[in-house]
Homo-oligomer: A and B are copies of this chain.
């Protein structure tokens, strides 16, 4: 069991889907990552920032999940980062209705002293230089650094993204972003080019089509569980990343075989995340429910063919 440092937003989200809409509810990359990782009972710390308007009950919720919150700065006279989005009928596309950076605009992450020796660092989607500054605070290079990013930083901070990509072990990125970053349509070729940019392991998230893990000539494909309905996709990618990093922090095994399991855990947890609005499903999630769904994942993908 290794310590896990999680960097990312802790935020208010307001979400509208064909199934309904929410007021400002708990959201943010670090929140979803932390909730997912908490399934593995790892010793994790969230590094983030919120405003004075952020309810204590949300911080309590994170602490109840055994997430150290001493690295979550509270800017008393500031407002918490706010995102609002509207999902279309197919749930695969959305419009951003509002993005209010608020306290995130001046966020300088500070890793708590007793987590500077963490072996695993999960860099949630943020400005690449903010991600980099976290790595620079660690006592030595962590054994595993996982980075999540998005097309926004490719458009607006590509050089900085390349800088941080040289310092990481695993990148999680979606298919369109992998294509944008490399100019390659084939994900096999794109993964190889991304590998050449730094990370040894490349995870390409394909939403309802699952996720691919690339390492050297090895490739693993974890499907997404086919769902009757996706209620709210918000946080699914972060939940995937949190499950992935959380499982690896727990198991202390960075082999390809074990990374495959981490991808399966990430996919499994993400399949719960989308069942309710925001963090609701992840907060209530019990370990026996996870176990049952892992069995569904096995049934979904495992087959016996005698290779003779």
Contacts and interface: CB of A to CB of B under 8 A. Distances in A.
A133 interface: no
A186 B301 contact: no
B299 A218 contact: yes
Count of identical protomers in the assembly? 2
Interface residues of A, number: 39
Nearest to A209: B209
A41 to B, nearest CB: 15
Nearest to A90: B185
Given A90-B185, A209-B209, A299-B218, A257 B304 contact: yes
A105 interface: no
A250 interface: no
A225 to B, nearest CB: 8
Contacts of A304: 257, 261
Which of the listed residues A209, A303, A304 has the most CB atoms from chain B within 10 Å of its own CB? Answer: A303
Contact of A220 (B230, B261, B300): B300
Interface in A174-226: 185-189, 206, 209-210, 212, 218-223, 226
A302 interface: yes
Interface stretch (A65-73, A118-126, A290-298): A290-298
